[in-house]
Amino acid sequence: MYAADRLDLVFAALADPTRRAILARLAHGEATVAELAEPFGFRQPTISKHLKVLEDAGFVTHSRDGQRRPRRLVDGALKDVDAWLAPFRKQWEARLDNLGAHLERMNRKPKRSR
């Protein structure tokens, strides 16, 4: 489950179109800062700033490959964006589990006269 400040980081990171494009690029495989900067026509420090936001939000990490330090997506990070819904989902799953158990009890008990 996400804490509220964590959600702030996540959605602030995703609110920017350049950062979304960077994520889309990284979904196809790791890339260096230079490789990421090229298609956007940005200078590398600009891309590095965006990458820092994505790293702080937990979306992106970098490999230790000498000077290249290619960036890649954190496994499963984007799936967790749906995590805010998880408590609600769990609540209903538990509720319907209870309903199933209750229906079983209704079936086991002899019916009272109506």
Report whether 20 contacts 81 (CB < 8 A): no
The neighbour count for residue 76, using CB atoms within 10 Å, is 8
Q: How many residues interact with other proteins (rule CB under 8 A)?
A: 40
Among 4, 52, 53, 109, binds other proteins (CB under 8 A): 4
Is the separation of the CB atoms in 106 and 98 below 8 Å? no
When asked if residue 42 is in the footprint of other proteins (CB under 8 A), the reply is: no
Any contact of residue 1 with other proteins (CB under 8 A)? Answer: no
63 forms part of the interface with other proteins (CB under 8 A): no
Write the CB contacts of 6 (distance below 8 Å, at least 6 apart in sequence). Answer: 58
Residues binding other proteins (CB under 8 A): 4, 7-8, 11-12, 14-15, 17, 20, 23-24, 27-28, 73, 78-79, 81-82, 84-85, 88-107
